[in-house]
């Protein structure tokens, strides 16, 4: 029986991060992965979706470039090449992670593994003894009764990545990150796209002003959506909604969340990290969990940023306005259309909303180009308890989107 300091089941962001960092500080590590290193994020989630999203945005920009003084004729879309590029990106990044694991001496076992006890893992009819075990087996698309995946008409976020041709029309059930990003992708490519959301607003986890702005953006983009609505019945390719609207679509993407890949009862003494832990199902949250576990680097779970990609980006961290009591906070909203850089980029939609309490930033909600990068500036201040008063002393470059944060600090009241 081979012995290790650390055994990890699952090679996604939590698993490979834990493996790399444990090995770098001298631990003997074994990592088990039954599919591909990189997990959902690299192979079936974040990375492939963003690669396709980028292609869709370039396509849309080219088709609408005349107002920028650029005329382009005979614009053609070859979706097979879009998918090929996506696959090449995945392969390149995966090889990078695999090489990094090899270079620090991690033993990688390409096999399904079973955690037998808090010190033993079984795989390929062998037993591996480990002083510590991490389970990081990720998650899978959630199955909804009546909307079970068939891989052809009713598809998951895994299935949609494998399409070789775009449908002419698609219904997207759910308006979280997956639903909104694929709605943008499909719409950008010219697919007739409709979104159905059971909650009262799109992106229900966001600040309500963000949700309302996204709804306005979707209306402008002519992406029909229904809130407070579910799928009532499906006959062939005809879909009847709970509001009695009838749609005929080529595909239905069911994007209603993900379910932890936990095939056995949790074992005391085993750490569960990433999506399988059933907390925040985000790759960067999983990475921070791994760093906390292996190198004891703490982090604030309540300061985990959320980002929805596309144009404009949507990003937030901290408290939402609907979570705060009346009169207990200060608020500022800076319109992106007030920023010179936004006009130069032809990206004027959105706002930067800052919420503060007792001279500290309590929450930030951004709809803007570069929102994901803007958010980190404020998050660093929040993490380090830097006051609003002190932040006003910082010199922000011009012209930038960051100026919107600077302006917002002075509007707090």
Does 276 lie in the same domain as 130?
yes
- The CATH number of the domain holding residue 396 is 3.30.390.30
Query: How many structural domains comprise the chain?
Result: 3
- For 298-315, the pLDDT digits (tens) are 999 999 999 999 999 999
Reading the block at residue 250, the tokens are: 């080529």
Helix/strand/coil percent split, the chain, to 5 = 35, 25, 40
Mean predicted confidence (pLDDT) in 10-16: 97
Cα distance between residue 37 and residue 116, in whole Å:
22
Does 122 lie in the same domain as 194?
no
Cα distance between residue 142 and residue 144, in whole Å:
6
Residues spanned by the domain of 63: 2-140+259-295
Question: Is pLDDT of 11 > 90?
Answer: yes
Does 156 lie in the same domain as 118?
no
Does 68 lie in the same domain as 81?
yes
Out of 221, 254, 287, a domain closes at 254
Question: Is pLDDT of 325 > 90?
Answer: no
| Cis previous bond, 312, omega within 30 | yes
Active-site residue identified among 21, 54, 343, 398? 398
Does 93 lie in the same domain as 220?
no
Q: What ranges in 255-339 are assigned the alpha helix state H? A: 283-295
Mean predicted confidence (pLDDT) in 353-364: 97
Whole-number Cα distances in Å, 32 to 16, 99, 137: 10, 16, 10
Residue 111 pLDDT class (50, 70, 90 cuts):
very high
Does 265 lie in the same domain as 191?
no
Cα distance between residue 75 and residue 62, in whole Å:
8
Does 152 lie in the same domain as 87?
no
Does 268 lie in the same domain as 246?
no
Does 318 lie in the same domain as 344?
yes
- The CATH number of the domain holding residue 84 is 3.50.50.60
Out of 225, 254, 283, a domain closes at 254
Question: Is pLDDT of 149 > 90?
Answer: yes
Q: Is 343 a catalytic residue?
A: no
Does 308 lie in the same domain as 175?
no
- For 30-87, the pLDDT digits (tens) are 999 999 999 999 999 999 999 999 999 999 999 999 989 999 988 999 999 999 999 9
Does 147 lie in the same domain as 129?
no
Name beta bridge partners: 246: 240
Question: Is pLDDT of 413 > 80?
Answer: no
Mean predicted confidence (pLDDT) in 194-216: 97
Does 197 lie in the same domain as 184?
yes
């Amino acid at each position: 029986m081979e012995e290790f300091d650390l055994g990890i089941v699952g090679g996604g962001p939590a698993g490979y991060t834990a493996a790399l960092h444990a090995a770098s500080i001298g631990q003997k590590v074994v990592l088990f992965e039954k599919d591909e290193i990189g997990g959902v994020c690299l192979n079936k989630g974040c990375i492939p979706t963003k690669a396709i999203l980028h292609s869709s945005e370039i396509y849309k920009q080219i088709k609408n470039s005349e107002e920028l003084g650029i005329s382009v004729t005979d614009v053609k879309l070859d979706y097979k090449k879009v998918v090929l590029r996506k696959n090449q990106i995945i392969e390149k990044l995966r090889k990078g992670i695999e090489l990094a694991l090899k270079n620090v001496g991690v033993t990688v076992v390409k096999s399904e593994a079973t955690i037998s006890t808090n010190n033993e893992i079984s795989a390929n009819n062998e037993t591996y003894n480990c002083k510590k075990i991490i389970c990081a087996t990720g998650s899978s698309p959630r199955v909804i009764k009546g909307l079970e995946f068939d891989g052809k008409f009713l598809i998951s976020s895994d299935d949609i990545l494998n399409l070789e041709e775009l449908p002419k029309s698609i219904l997207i059930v759910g308006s979280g990150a997956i639903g909104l990003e694929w709605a943008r992708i499909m719409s950008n490519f010219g697919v007739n796209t409709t979104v159905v959301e059971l909650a009262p607003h799109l992106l229900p986890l966001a600040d309500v002003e963000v949700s309302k702005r996204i709804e306005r953006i979707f209306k402008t983009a002519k992406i029909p959506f229904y809130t407070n609505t579910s799928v009532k019945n499906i006959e062939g390719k005809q879909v009847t909604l709970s509001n009695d609207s009838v749609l005929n679509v080529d595909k239905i993407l069911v994007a209603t969340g993900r379910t932890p890949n936990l095939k056995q009862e949790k074992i005391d003494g085993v750490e569960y990290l990433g999506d399988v832990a059933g907390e925040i199902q985000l790759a960067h949250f999983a990475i921070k969990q791994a760093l906390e576990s292996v190198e004891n680097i703490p982090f604030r779970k309540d300061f985990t940023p959320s980002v929805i990609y596309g144009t404009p980006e949507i990003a937030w961290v901290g408290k939402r306005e609907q979570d705060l009591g009346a009169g207990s906070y200060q608020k500022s909203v800076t319109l992106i259309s007030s920023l010179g850089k936004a006009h130069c980029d032809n990206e004027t939609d959105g706002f930067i909303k800052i919420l503060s309490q007792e001279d500290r930033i309590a929450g930030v909600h951004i709809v803007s180009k570069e929102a994901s990068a803007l958010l980190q500036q404020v998050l660093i201040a929040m993490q380090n308890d830097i006051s609003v008063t002190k932040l006003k002393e910082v010199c922000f470059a011009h012209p930038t989107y960051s100026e919107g944060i600077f302006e917002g600090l002075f509007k707090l009241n």
